[in-house]
A and B are shown apart, each in its own frame.
Chain A
Amino acid sequence: MTHLGELLSAYLDGEVTEDERKLVTSHITDCGTCQAELADLHLARSALRSLPVLDLPAGLLDGEASVVIPLVRRPRVWIAAAAATVAVFVGVATFVAPEPTVPITFNEISLEHNNRSQLDPLLTPGKAVPPVSLPIGGAE
């Protein structure tokens, strides 16, 4: 059985959707583990709420008013879907897609080398022939 985990904390904070709320209520009916976890979370929150509220020391905020940024909780299903998509993309890109290559013909290789090997005493036919493709008849 999959337990509710952090969804319980969100449930206690009233930050679940209607579907999630139904899921939590139906799940904890049959799950002792989640029941116990929910009780612990509840106790911890009660303890926190029972702590006295202290005034901040003067000058701590340097006279500026604090800015409250509300936290927005996004549905987890989209995060999971995005992660799965990325994982699939990475897998395809890494293992399925062909490796990019640099195409070079033998003639290009031979020409580049032969242009520099003219100092070799062994200027053999095989080293000299490939570069230019002109018909013999046209060259005469």
Chain B
Amino acid sequence: MTRGAVVFLLLVGMVMGAGPALALDDLTPYLEQQSAAEFSGEESIVCYTPDGTVSELTVVRQADGVRVVEDGEGAIGVTRVYHGDNWVLGDQYRVEVSGRDRFLSRPVTVVDVVEGDLVRVGLFFDQSSGALLASDVHNADGSTYCSSRFLSFDPKRPVIPDDLLAGLTTGPGSSEAGVVDADAFPTEIAGFSLTEVYEGPAAGVTNGYYADGIFSFTVFVSERAIEVPELVDAPVVKMRRGEYQRQFYPGQVIFAWQTRSGGIVLVGDLPLDLQEDVLEALPAPGKPNFFVRFWRGLFG
């Protein structure tokens, strides 16, 4: 072998082994393929929370950008799987394609969303259909917060009855209430950007939707305490700034608390450490002062 050929082979070897990336280090094409995928299957999600493990097994059908999810109790969720131009990945994240693997005997591309040294999210995309077959979400200490897995997967186009599509929203920001007093919400909370401000679902409740491209949460704010019937028996937990009612659902957590000036409810898919960070940036729990109580007592 000539000296030139050796150098050439060394260079090829260096290029091929230069980094972990095996494909695009941008999440966008994967999300576009995921939203266009057509499939059906059984999916499980398990979340490990301070209040115990919560899990759910659902049947998922996706076609024409619409996802229908049925749980074991007969409830059906219909959601438009959407990937739009206004999706922005937070600066704190970088995307690394960590390799290729097999899942359910199918070749998958493993994409990691990395925050500093932490693999915050691992995504397993089916190479053939583009469907997201599995995901892992991690807390700041590296522990797993939630895992989702398809237990069975059929890449055939499923049938979605037309009557399920009635009333389906067309995408983010489809609220008819429109933008209200956006100045009432900070434009940024713990690395999350304010994306939309709207009213509802009850009179006098204003909401701010925040996202960082991976996780998101909505803050519901009212000048009165917000009563969520499902949280009546929810545990009250003491966190850095006070006590909150907290309830975990598979893939979702909800907090409710009263402040000195009203009530707040937060719902989102935040891992445990981000829950703390976000709550710390919001008004602390507290009791309304005498004059507020007096006014509400007289005039409601």
Contact = CB atoms under 8 A, between A and B. Distances in A.
A129 interface: yes
Contacts of A115: 169, 172, 174-175
B69 A93 contact: no
A18 interface: no
A110 interface: yes
Interface string B74-92: 1111111111101100000
Q: Interface extent on B, as a size class?
A: 35 or more
B119 interface: no
A136 B69 contact: no
A120 B267 contact: no
A129 B220 contact: no
Given A126-B56, A128-B77, A129-B77, A105 B228 contact: yes
B76 A132 contact: yes
B232 to A, nearest CB: 11
Contact of B80 (A90, A118, A134): A118
A85 interface: no
B229 interface: yes
A58 B162 CA distance: 96
Contacts of B34: 121
A52 B284 CA distance: 70
B76 A116 contact: no
A112 interface: yes
A3 interface: no
A131 to B, nearest CB: 5
B164 interface: yes
Interface string B183-214: 00000000000011010111111010101011
A78 interface: no
A93 to B, nearest CB: 3
Contact of A114 (B71, B79, B202): B79
Given A112-B207, A112-B218, A116-B173, A123 B79 contact: yes
A97 interface: yes
Contacts of A101: 224-227, 263
Contacts of A133: 74-76
Interface in A82-107: 90, 92-95, 97, 99-106
B127 interface: no
B171 to A, nearest CB: 6
B219 to A, nearest CB: 10
Top 8 closest pairs, chain A to chain B, by CB: A126-B250, A93-B297, A126-B251, A124-B251, A125-B58, A108-B201, A106-B230, A101-B227
Interface of B: 27, 30-31, 34, 43-45, 47, 54, 56-58, 60, 67, 69-71, 74-84, 86-87, 121, 123, 132, 135, 137, 146, 148, 161, 163-164, 167, 169, 171-175, 195-196, 198, 200-205, 207, 209, 211, 213-218, 220, 222, 224-231, 249-252, 254, 263, 265, 267-269, 288, 290, 293-294, 296-298, 300
Interface of A: 90, 92-95, 97, 99-106, 108-137, 139-140
